[in-house]
Amino acid sequence: RSALGFALGMALGSAYGALVLLAQSHNIWYCLVTTVSLGTALALGMAFSVKVRVTVLLTLPHIFTSKRPPSSSSSSPSSASARLPWRPVPAEEGKMLLLLLALGMATAGPCANVLHNVSRAAEAMACGAELALNQTAERLQRARQPLLNVLAKIKDIARKAKAVGDRVRRFFRSIMDSVTHVARALRNVWHWLARLGQLCNQQLGTPRRRCLRLFSEAQDKCERAVPFLYFLCYIIAAFKPLCGLANGARRSAAARALGPRAGTDAASSRCSRAALLHHPPAARYVRPRGPWFSRQERQRYGLELAAVLRHVLLGLGLILADYSVFWLLDLLRHELRGETVARAPSVLGISVNGSGYTSEIFRDLVGAFEALQQGNVSVLSQRCRLRPVEPDYGTYMAMGILYGVCLSIALVGSYVGRLRRAICAAYYPEREQ
């Protein structure tokens, strides 16, 4: 029983609930049910089961490590896990999922807000144009076609912005479906790996059992072939002890190979010291508790850090674009907050005297000229005021937290990955040399 394991299980369940509720904005009841179920399973499993506790503790460092096998110079040969064959983790780095989540938030937050503000600016311009058309239908008759073309272009821009927004929404949904599919595939792979040994033993059996089964089948065939001389078939049973030669040879070879080393390691363990290595092999290894990296670790460290910084710069660019568009539109809204009316200048009166065809033509021209001088035009109106959407600063903060966690994982991931040796040594001290 472990109270610390119970507390760690509850903490992991709470962290999952906070991530699902705050980052992905799922339903509150879905978050409550899944968090309580996961927290209960983890807390009780880590509190009362050593196997569950070891599995969870060995899984947590994989968030900080990649699926590439560790270099032979990155850990001490005294590690229990260094003697086991490397099995790649069935997933990419844990930080890639966080970067994918941050990219989805940037797509659904700043990008969508930029498109929304552009759409509102287009709507405000369209509103002003329509208002001017309604007030000055006679005055703008000559310029109707250019204004209608401009209005058509504005509406086309708004439709394209809406289409882009729909594509962004479908892209985000496809990303979430892909993440769900990957998680389901990882769960199936994990279950398959967990049952692989049982399936192999059920289908094939151990080498010794297969050997004994072959001798038994041979004896049965012999008795069926010569039933009147069945006692001769018992000679086959005399060769069954040969099936145990492989285990005996392996134990004897292991005893001869590890005998001197086991004595040295046992003496070192009684003295509470690390296992001894000769000077040439010791110079090729990096101590697990040391602050230095091997060449392969340094290369992997630089590549991972560059990848995280590239995603961070992309997110910062989207945030700056969102805030810049909002700041520009808000500045325009502040400067154009009044109402501008274009008033007609002093009316010039013209009278035409006379009669005849020519005088009628001039009277019509003067009437058209007087109609152009009458009335006022509202250039800017409060009804068509520009109202930009303010950015969601909570999304900015969540993206910053995710990028900070990813950067921390890239910085300390190599050190955290070495904790697997300490966990194996703590729960399996008999395998620690």
**Lowest-confidence pick of 64-78, 181-195, 277-291:** 64-78
Please indicate whether residue 413 or residue 80 has the higher confidence score (pLDDT).
413
Helix and strand counts by DSSP (H, E) for the chain: 15, 2
Report pLDDT for 171: 80
Q: Could you tell me the two tokens for 12?
A: 């992991």
pLDDT tens per residue across span 309-338: 888 888 888 888 888 888 888 887 777 665
Split at pLDDT 50, 70, 90, the class of 123 is confident
Distance CA 22, CA 35 (A): 13
Distance CA 135, CA 8 (A): 70
pLDDT tens per residue across span 102-115: 888 888 888 888 88
pLDDT at 72 over 70: no
Tally of domains within the chain: 1
pLDDT at 6 over 80: yes
Report pLDDT for 204: 63
pLDDT at 83 over 60: no
Q: Note whether residue 117 is domain-resident.
A: no
Mean pLDDT calculated for residue range 275-284 = 50
**Lowest-confidence pick of 295-299, 374-378, 384-388, 428-432:** 374-378
Report pLDDT for 28: 80
Report pLDDT for 270: 55
- Residue 342's SS3 state is strand
Torsion-angle region of residue 387: left (phi > 0), alpha (psi -120 to 50) or beta? beta
pTM to 2 decimals? Answer: 0.47
pLDDT at 281 over 60: no
Q: Note whether residue 58 is domain-resident.
A: no
Q: Which domain holds residue 236?
A: 200-290
Distance CA 92, CA 96 (A): 7
Mean pLDDT calculated for residue range 173-188 = 82
For 237, residues 6+ apart whose C-beta sits below 8 A from its C-beta are 215, 219
Q: Note whether residue 252 is domain-resident.
A: yes
The sign of the torsion formed by the CA atoms of 318, 324, 330, 333 equals negative
pLDDT at 10 over 80: yes
Q: Note whether residue 279 is domain-resident.
A: yes
**Lowest-confidence pick of 28-42, 146-160, 391-405:** 146-160
Mean pLDDT calculated for residue range 37-48 = 82
Buried-state track 245-269, b at ≥16 Cβ within 10 A, e below 16:
eeeeeeeeeeeeeeeeeeeebeeee
Q: To which residue do tokens 């760690």 refer?
A: 8
Tell me what percent of the residues of the chain surpass a pLDDT of 90: 0
Q: Note whether residue 256 is domain-resident.
A: yes
Tell me what percent of the residues of the chain surpass a pLDDT of 70: 57
Distance CA 411, CA 416 (A): 10
pLDDT at 209 over 70: yes
Report pLDDT for 62: 67
Q: Note whether residue 351 is domain-resident.
A: no
Please indicate whether residue 373 or residue 241 has the higher confidence score (pLDDT).
241
pLDDT at 69 over 60: no
Distance CA 379, CA 340 (A): 5
pLDDT tens per residue across span 341-357: 555 555 556 666 767 54
Computed over every residue of the chain, the mean pLDDT equals: 70
Split at pLDDT 50, 70, 90, the class of 74 is very low
Split at pLDDT 50, 70, 90, the class of 266 is low
pLDDT at 395 over 60: yes
Mean pLDDT calculated for residue range 383-398 = 81
Split at pLDDT 50, 70, 90, the class of 73 is very low
Which class for 300: exposed (0-12), middle (13-18), buried (19 or more C-beta within 10 A)? Answer: buried
Asked if 387 and 395 count as a contact pair (C-beta separation under 8 A), the reply is no
Q: Note whether residue 84 is domain-resident.
A: no
Distance CA 185, CA 174 (A): 16
pLDDT tens per residue across span 216-261: 887 787 878 777 777 777 777 777 776 766 566 556 655 665 555 5
pLDDT at 407 over 80: yes
Please indicate whether residue 276 or residue 214 has the higher confidence score (pLDDT).
214
Angle of helix 94-106 relative to helix 295-335, nearest 10 degrees, comes to: 10
Q: Note whether residue 230 is domain-resident.
A: yes
Asked if 301 and 293 count as a contact pair (C-beta separation under 8 A), the reply is yes
